[in-house]
Amino acid sequence: MSELQTVEQEITRIPSAAAALALPLVLVADADPASRLRRARQLEDRGFRVAVARTPFEAIVKASCHLPDLILVDTSLGDAGAEEATELLSSCPATAHIPIVRLTPGRRLPTRVLTAARY
């Protein structure tokens, strides 16, 4: 493969990478590995980028660093942990603007979440 062909391939990959970054980012905070994976796949299939957190602390750190467009907090994190994480995220100036949806274990994602992707 010539150097020109290599450069052309690199250039054609740039728009798709930029397009992927334009997709909305959802943070899924869920302690159950199977549920976390299922929800992440559902969201990715609908055109979202997904970040996952396994603990309330990880959810707070990832939300502060990545600034997602939406945070889904499952009560599998524990009622106190989920409540505390939600309280901290809502009161922190950097993350207070991010909508937070509380989910219960085993329930499907709300339809309004799955249909909100911007294409």
Give the span between the Cα atoms of 53 and 58, in whole angstroms.
5
Both tokens of 45, joined, read 């299939």
Q: Is the dihedral of CA 14, 19, 22, 28 positive or negative?
A: negative
Label residue 16 by pLDDT band (50, 70, 90).
low
Is the pLDDT reported for residue 27 higher than 50?
yes
Give the span between the Cα atoms of 25 and 89, in whole angstroms.
16
Average pLDDT, the chain: 82
Both tokens of 31, joined, read 């302690």
> pLDDT (tens digit, 9 = 90+) per residue, 45-100?
999 999 999 999 999 999 999 999 999 998 888 878 888 889 999 999 999 999 99
User: pTM for the complete prediction?
Assistant: 0.76
